[in-house]
């Protein structure tokens, strides 16, 4: 029974760690004096969701990321250390993106950051796949969301030039 409780604790730590990425990033944005309302101020490209959807989606995505990292962490693979380093790097870039987009209100720089994030997420999924198919597949929604977010940033840049 104790081993089971230990595993649940480690899983929860992994999920909370991922969730803290979003929470801390949002806190930095708020402390910078800026807000997430910047999204509402932009002329939006087609398919742009309402602002309330973003935190809901991110809670789900960070949970899936945390579960996938836990699966890798618990594996016996010799590749898990490098995979988890890559996971940490992409989490850091993920953390930076909201600060650049909302805190600095910089579309061009946020495009650079999200393109780096996109490459890191792909690399992370490939790295996780070598250890556990499940851990890789759990990150497919994240990859799709980052691709969609890249489209939105490109759309914002284009729409600002047009208007």
pTM of the model: 0.93
The full length of the chain comes to: 163
* Vertex 59: Cα angle to 141 and 87 (nearest 5): 60
**Per-residue tens of pLDDT for the chain, all 163 residues:** 466 667 999 999 999 999 999 999 999 998 988 777 788 888 899 999 998 999 999 999 999 999 999 999 999 999 999 999 999 999 999 999 999 999 899 999 999 999 999 999 999 999 999 999 999 999 999 999 999 999 999 999 999 877 6
**The pLDDT value given to residue 161:** 79
Give the pair of three-digit tokens for residue 90. Answer: 């992409």
Q: How far apart are CA 77 and CA 156, in angstroms?
A: 42
Give the pair of three-digit tokens for residue 88. Answer: 């940490």
Q: How far apart are CA 104 and CA 26, in angstroms?
A: 13
**The pLDDT value given to residue 42:** 85
**The pLDDT value given to residue 40:** 83
Element (H, E) at 107: helix 107-129
Q: Which domains does the chain have, with CATH numbers?
A: 2-162 (1.20.1260.100)
Nearest to 77 by CA among 14, 117, 15, 135: 135
């Amino acid at each position: 029974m104790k081993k089971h409780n230990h595993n649940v604790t480690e899983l929860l730590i992994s999920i909370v760690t991922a969730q803290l990425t979003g929470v801390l990033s949002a806190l930095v944005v708020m402390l910078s004096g800026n807000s997430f309302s910047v999204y509402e101020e932009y002329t939006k490209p087609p398919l742009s969701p309402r602002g309330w959807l973003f935190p809901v989606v991110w809670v789900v995505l960070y949970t899936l990321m945390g579960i996938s990292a836990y699966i890798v962490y618990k594996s016996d693979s010799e590749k898990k250390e490098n995979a988890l380093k890559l996971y940490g790097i992409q989490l850091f870039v993920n953390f930076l993106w909201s600060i650049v987009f909302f805190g600095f209100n910089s579309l061009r720089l946020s495009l650079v950051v999200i393109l780096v994030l996109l490459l890191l997420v792909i690399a992370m999924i490939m790295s996780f796949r070598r250890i556990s198919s499940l851990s890789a597949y759990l990150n497919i929604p994240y990859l799709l969301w980052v691709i969609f977010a890249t489209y939105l940033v490109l759309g914002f840049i284009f729409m600002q030039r047009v208007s």
